[in-house]
């Protein structure tokens, strides 16, 4: 394990390496405990580098077996090898030479799940970001692009399937029950995209013919018996391949494309060239075991990894500071794909909810960092929602500012100019600046400045002159090591709504660049005057969430209700209602603390009920509109001195109020939308289920009785409805007999299916209230739980610590201490997942005082551990700073 050495990596220190590895020839002899890896590296000295400059290669815990140079063994005085570094001093004088390195690795004991490891007995790899150096010594940096030839030898009984990157070259039998396969990847790639799989796996196969007629063999490899569960993923893959051709003219470039699902995986999936390796959560689905959310997740992640073939693989990152170059852009592309496959407004609302619940707290807390960070201690801690989701929002803003044609032209130029290169954010932005003639210098601050901009808006209308004045100001709050911020270029899509709810015509505009329905805010404060506006308009601003900001607008309650009913922008319609819910909940939480009774606005409750029955809106949209802000959403808006118990009580009360007033209507809609016919995972069917399940939550609250949920649980013919009913039961009636029975039935039915048991763990880990901690502790002893499997850890411990406000933030600090214990024991074998869990502490300073003291104690206890990984150390130090 890599412990903290205090080393910090800085963007400004980037230097090209003295040498390049241009071709990599690998031989693996797979064995659980002693896999031999022979790497023959073709090394080139770069022009201008001194002939005696040492060649320094990265390693991580490596055992060196032997070393050869240009075909001869290398003498001990010619090099220095430690587990983490190999320095060759006896470098030959020629420009090109060949280095042969033999290392020995132990996949079965590799529980960090980086490098070569085993999952359920199958060999697999994870090399991003710096896992390749756990396999062999290498220039393990993304700017070293090399072709790869890989020969895998294995016991045929143990690993009949042998896969690597690129195209298959040959395979055959060897002596003693062994066999081999050879793969060749003609596209030069960095080592983080290397992959190997060896195992006894089932598979499904299909083909895809590209626009230019290349026939590609597609394969998805899964555990034996799970083949039918991969058909939806295969369908999503083919749709992704087609979409990238139609939308961006990007074609696939190899003869084969393989996906392998493994059950032990640190992240979602990995875009290795021609051989994507997936967390099985993002491959396997059928109606019996997967929810609609799971299906949508599979579609999105399959697309994401496939899209990386161009944005990430053909064009990669110069260094890890540029991570958002591939991730932000690829998230943007998968968002667009899903929006095209499903409902665009529904998708957008879901994206924004996700951004606010994950990225905003990151950007507003101790772990805030720019989309393109300038320093890191441990790169794995920067696979964050800032790099991914805010990174995607930044690309979306480029689209908004340039418009669709110029955006597409910029992308085309990027693909054409940088294919086969390892590049930077500056290279990316230059393409858009060039095709549009726009200066994007100020815009680039979105990559460099951390923090969520706050935009404040006031308006005034003069009926006499017909002038409508909009004052907009922006501030970017200070973030760690960045106290002073510059004003940003913020594109605000907008419309003016007239008294009848129609879009108003406007005359001339002054005070800002305003075009194509977008206000370009560029100064700290600007006054924009619209002329010829006859009657007072309602300003619908930041439509479609065109900029990832916090917006404070001087709208009255009536204005917001008006927008909620009339805005032609469906995002802002949702936003108007959502902001009213947030306000109501903040006020209710304050009253709760003072012991006063609730007094919810009847008009707000009425508006919610009206939306539920509005057949002009698709069910999925209505479901989102009716989903109350989460307790965490409300806590974030309150910002400091948060009392999670008061927030929870307020939210329960509003749910009861809406449910009570809407009861009859909700019951009617619930019955009308009952599933008829066989299950289909399509967006429209999923939308009906989501509306029904939101209503179920209200109905159970109104009736204060579990019967309807219990009935749905028993009669459901799919996992979406079953899991939703179980959630209502457990969260609203945790101690009820009906809940106990349902939880036990679920356990009995799915106990052997880890992915389904994840839902069972999540449901219980997120039961509001102080008592849940004891439940979570005892569930760690459940046979389906394992601290070795990242999905189980995330479902039980992750869901508890980041999804249970009242449970995790227990006033006595017991939730914090529990998490600290888990982190310390997990850190010994899987630092990456341990560090991820530790980010649950990031909002500790916004809690009320007693909880802050308790959180600090837990953090300091972790920090005091002598052999902490550099992953956890980095998170804890920054959180405490
Ligand atoms: N590039 C992968 C993806 O976004 C994520 C891999 C991250 N892995 C890691 N160990 N940090 O699709
Ligand atoms: Zn990615």
Return the HEC string of 761-785.
HHHHHCCCCCCHHHHHHHHCCCCCC
Q: Where are the beta strands (DSSP E) in 647-794?
A: none
Distance in Å, CA 316 to ligand 2 centroid: 12
Identify the bridge partners of residue 25 per DSSP, sorted by sequence position: 40, 149
Catalogue the active-site residues: 305
| Residue 92, burial from CB neighbour count under 10 angstroms (0-12, 13-18, 19+) | middle
Average pLDDT in the 737-753 region?
Answer: 98
Long-range contacts of 291-296 (CB under 8 A, 24+ apart): 291/719, 291/720, 291/723, 291/724, 291/759, 292/681, 292/686, 292/689, 292/690, 292/720, 293/720, 294/719, 295/232, 295/681, 295/686, 296/338, 296/342, 296/686
Average pLDDT in the 749-756 region?
Answer: 98
Ligand nearest to the CA of 332: 2
pLDDT classification of 446: cutoffs 50, 70, 90: very high
Percent of the chain surpassing pLDDT 90: 98
Distance in Å, CA 331 to ligand 1 centroid: 12
Residue 183 near residue 222, CB atoms below 8 Å: no
**Structure confidence by residue, pLDDT tens digits, 310-333:** 999 999 999 999 999 999 999 999
Helices (H), 269-322: 292-307
**CA atoms of 263 and 185, how far apart (whole Å):** 26
Classify 787 as helix, strand or coil: coil
Virtual CA dihedral for 190, 124, 200, 39, nearest 10 degrees?
60
How many CB atoms sit inside 10 A of residue 144's CB?
Answer: 20
Residue in 113, 305, 380, 383 to alter for ligand 1 test, most ligand atoms within 8 A of Cβ: 383
pLDDT of residue 505: 85
Closest CA to 721 of 387, 290, 357, 343: 290
Exposure b/e, 256-286, CB count within 10 A at least 16 = b: bbbbbbbbbbbbebbbbbbbbbbbbbbbbbb
Among protein residues, the one with the nearest Cα to ligand 1's atom 2 is 270
Residue 796 near residue 785, CB atoms below 8 Å: yes
Average pLDDT in the 80-109 region?
Answer: 97
Residue 599, CB-side half-sphere exposure with 13 Å CA sphere: 4
Percent of the chain surpassing pLDDT 70: 100
Among protein residues, the one with the nearest Cα to ligand 1's atom 3 is 270
pLDDT of residue 761: 99
Among protein residues, the one with the nearest Cα to ligand 1's atom 11 is 380
Give the pair of three-digit tokens for residue 186.
């003609």
pLDDT classification of 2: cutoffs 50, 70, 90: confident
Ligand nearest to the CA of 833: 1
**Structure confidence by residue, pLDDT tens digits, 791-837:** 999 999 999 999 999 999 999 999 999 999 999 999 999 999 999 99
Lay out the sheet containing 35-45: strands in order across: 72-73, 63-69, 96-105, 35-45, 19-29, 146-155, 178-189, 167-173
Residue 395 near residue 444, CB atoms below 8 Å: no
Lowest-pLDDT range of 74-78, 226-230, 797-801: 74-78
CATH label, 316-448, candidates 1.10.10.10, 3.20.20.220, 1.10.390.10, 3.40.50.261: 1.10.390.10
Ligand nearest to the CA of 277: 1
Examine the predicted complex and report whether its ipTM is higher than 0.85. yes
**CA atoms of 64 and 55, how far apart (whole Å):** 16
> Is the model's pLDDT at 854 over the cut of 80?
yes
Mean pLDDT estimate for the chain: 97
Average pLDDT in the 572-593 region?
Answer: 98
**Structure confidence by residue, pLDDT tens digits, 133-170:** 999 999 999 999 999 999 999 999 999 999 999 999 99
**CA atoms of 27 and 153, how far apart (whole Å):** 8
Average pLDDT in the 272-294 region?
Answer: 98
> Is the model's pLDDT at 1 over the cut of 80?
no
pLDDT of residue 325: 99
**In terms of CATH architecture, what is 9-200?**
Sandwich (2.60)
CATH label, 454-547, candidates 3.20.20.70, 2.40.37.10, 2.60.40.1840, 1.10.8.190: 2.60.40.1840
**CA atoms of 83 and 456, how far apart (whole Å):** 55
Q: Do domains 9-200 and 316-448 have the same CATH topology?
A: no
pLDDT of residue 321: 98
Distance in Å, CA 39 to ligand 1 centroid: 24
**Structure confidence by residue, pLDDT tens digits, 858-881:** 999 999 999 999 999 999 999 999
Distance in Å, CA 769 to ligand 2 centroid: 36
| Sole residue written with tokens 């009242």 | 806
Quick one: which atom of ligand 1 is closest to the CA of 383? 11
Among protein residues, the one with the nearest Cα to ligand 1's atom 8 is 128
| Residue 726, burial from CB neighbour count under 10 angstroms (0-12, 13-18, 19+) | buried
For residue 470, the 8-state DSSP code is E
Ligand nearest to the CA of 279: 1
**CA atoms of 313 and 171, how far apart (whole Å):** 26
| Sole residue written with tokens 């040492």 | 54
pLDDT classification of 5: cutoffs 50, 70, 90: confident
pLDDT of residue 693: 98
pLDDT of residue 683: 96
pLDDT classification of 771: cutoffs 50, 70, 90: very high
pLDDT of residue 110: 98
Among protein residues, the one with the nearest Cα to ligand 1's atom 1 is 270
**Structure confidence by residue, pLDDT tens digits, 464-507:** 999 999 999 999 999 999 999 999 999 999 999 999 999 998 88
State the chain's maximal CA–CA distance in angstroms: 95
Contacts of 81 (CB under 8 A, 6+ apart): 59, 64, 67, 87, 137
**CA atoms of 8 and 152, how far apart (whole Å):** 37
Distance in Å, CA 654 to ligand 1 centroid: 40
Question: Where does ligand 1 bind, in terms of residues with CB under 6 Å?
Answer: 128-129, 266-267, 269-271, 304-305, 327, 380, 383, 832
What residue segments make up the domains of the chain, in order of their start? 9-200, 316-448, 454-547, 570-880
What CATH number has the domain spanning 570-880? 1.25.50.10
Quick one: which atom of ligand 1 is closest to the CA of 301? 12
Residue in 132, 267, 381 to alter for ligand 1 test, most ligand atoms within 8 A of Cβ: 267
């Amino acid at each position: 394990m890599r412990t903290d050495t205090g080393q910090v990596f800085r963007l400004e220190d980037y230097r090209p390496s003295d040498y390049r590895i241009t071709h990599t020839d690998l031989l693996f002899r797979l064995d659980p405990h002693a896999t031999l890896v022979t790497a023959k590296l073709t090394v080139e000295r770069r022009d201008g580098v001194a002939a005696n400059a040492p060649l320094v290669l990265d390693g991580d815990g490596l055992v060196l077996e032997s070393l050869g140079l240009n075909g001869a063994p290398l003498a001990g005085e010619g090099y220095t090898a430690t587990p983490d570094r190999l320095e060759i001093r006896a470098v030959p004088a020629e420009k090109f030479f060949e280095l042969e390195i033999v290392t020995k690795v132990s996949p079965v004991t590799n529980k960090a799940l980086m490098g070569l490891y085993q999952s359920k007995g199958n060999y697999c790899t994870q090399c991003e970001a710096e896992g390749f150096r756990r396999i062999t010594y290498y220039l393990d940096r993304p700017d070293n692009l090399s072709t790869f030839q890989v020969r895998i030898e294995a016991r045929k009984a143990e690993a009949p399937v042998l896969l690597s990157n690129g195209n298959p070259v040959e395979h055959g039998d060897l002596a003693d029950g062994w066999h081999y396969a050879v793969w060749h990847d003609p596209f030069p790639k960095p080592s983080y995209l290397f992959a190997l799989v060896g195992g006894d796996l089932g598979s499904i196969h299909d083909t895809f013919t590209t626009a230019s007629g290349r026939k590609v063999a597609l394969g998805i490899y899964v555990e034996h018996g799970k083949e039918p569960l991969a058909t939806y993923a295969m369908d999503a893959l083919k749709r992704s391949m087609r979409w990238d051709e139609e939308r961006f003219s990007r074609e696939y470039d190899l003869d084969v494309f393989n996906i392998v699902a493994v059950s032990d995986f640190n992240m979602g999936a990995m875009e290795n060239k021609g051989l994507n390796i997936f967390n099985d959560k993002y491959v396997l689905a059928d109606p019996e075991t997967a929810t609609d959310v799971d299906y949508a997740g599979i579609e999105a992640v399959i697309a994401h990894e496939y899209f990386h073939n161009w944005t990430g693989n053909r064009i990669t990152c110069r260094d890890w500071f540029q991570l958002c170059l591939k991730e932000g852009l690829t998230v943007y592309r998968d968002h667009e794909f899903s929006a095209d496959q499903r409902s665009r407004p529904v998708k957008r609302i879901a994206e924004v909810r996700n951004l606010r619940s994950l990225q905003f707290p990151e950007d507003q807390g101790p772990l805030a960092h720019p989309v393109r960070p300038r320093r890191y201690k441990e790169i794995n801690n920067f696979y964050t929602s800032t790099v991914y989701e805010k990174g995607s929002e930044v690309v979306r803003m480029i689209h908004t500012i340039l418009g669709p044609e110029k955006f597409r032209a910029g992308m085309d130029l990027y693909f054409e100019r940088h294919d086969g290169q390892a590049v930077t954010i500056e290279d990316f932005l230059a393409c858009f600046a060039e095709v549009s003639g726009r200066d994007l210098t100020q815009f680039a601050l979105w990559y460099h400045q951390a923090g969520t901009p706050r935009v404040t808006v006031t308006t005034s209308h003069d009926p006499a002159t017909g002038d409508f004045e909009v004052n907009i100001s922006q501030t970017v709050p200070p973030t760690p090591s960045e106290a002073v911020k510059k004003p940003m270029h913020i594109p605000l899509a907008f419309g003016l709504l007239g008294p009848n709810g129609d879009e108003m015509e406007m005359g001339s505009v002054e005070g800002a660049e305003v075009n194509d329905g977008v206000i370009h805010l560029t100064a700290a404060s600007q006054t924009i005057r619209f002329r010829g506006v006859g009657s007072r308009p309602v300003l619908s601003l930041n439509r479609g969430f065109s900029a990832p900001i916090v917006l404070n607008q001087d709208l009255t309650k009536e204005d917001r209700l008006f927008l909620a009913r009339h805005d032609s922008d469906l995002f802002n319609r949702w936003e108007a209602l959502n902001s009213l819910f947030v306000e109501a909940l903040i006020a209710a939480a304050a009253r709760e603390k003072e012991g006063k009774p609730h007094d919810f606005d009847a008009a707000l409750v009425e508006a919610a009920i009206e939306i539920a029955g509005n057949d002009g809106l698709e069910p999925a949209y209505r479901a989102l509109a009716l989903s109350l802000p989460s307790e965490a959403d409300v806590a974030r808006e309150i910002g400091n001195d948060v009392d999670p118990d008061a927030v929870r009580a307020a939210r329960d009360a509003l749910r009861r109020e809406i449910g009570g007033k809407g009861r009859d209507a909700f019951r009617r809609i619930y019955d009308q939308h009952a599933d008829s016919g066989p299950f289909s995972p399509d967006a429209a069917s999923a939308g009906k289920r989501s509306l029904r399940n939101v209503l179920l939550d209200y109905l159970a609250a109104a009736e204060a009785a579990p019967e309807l949920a219990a009935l749905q649980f028993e009669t459901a013919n799919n996992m979406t409805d079953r899991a939703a009913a179980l959630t209502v039961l457990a969260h609203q009636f945790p101690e009820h007999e009906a809940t106990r029975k349902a939880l036990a039935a679920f356990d009995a039915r799915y106990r052997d299916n880890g992915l389904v048991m994840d839902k069972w763990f999540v449901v219980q880990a997120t039961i509001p209230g102080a008592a849940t901690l004891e439940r979570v502790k005892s569930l760690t002893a459940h046979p389906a739980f394992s601290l070795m499997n990242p999905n189980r850890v995330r479902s039980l411990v992750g869901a508890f610590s980041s999804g249970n406000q009242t449970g995790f933030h227990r006033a006595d600090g017991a939730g914090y201490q529990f998490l600290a214990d888990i982190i310390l024991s997990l850190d010994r074998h899987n630092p990456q997942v341990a560090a991820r869990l530790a980010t649950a502490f990031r909002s500790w300073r916004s809690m009320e005082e007693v909880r802050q003291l308790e959180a600090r104690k837990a953090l300091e206890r972790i920090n005091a551990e002598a052999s902490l990984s550099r992953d956890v150390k980095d998170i804890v130090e920054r959180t405490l700073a």
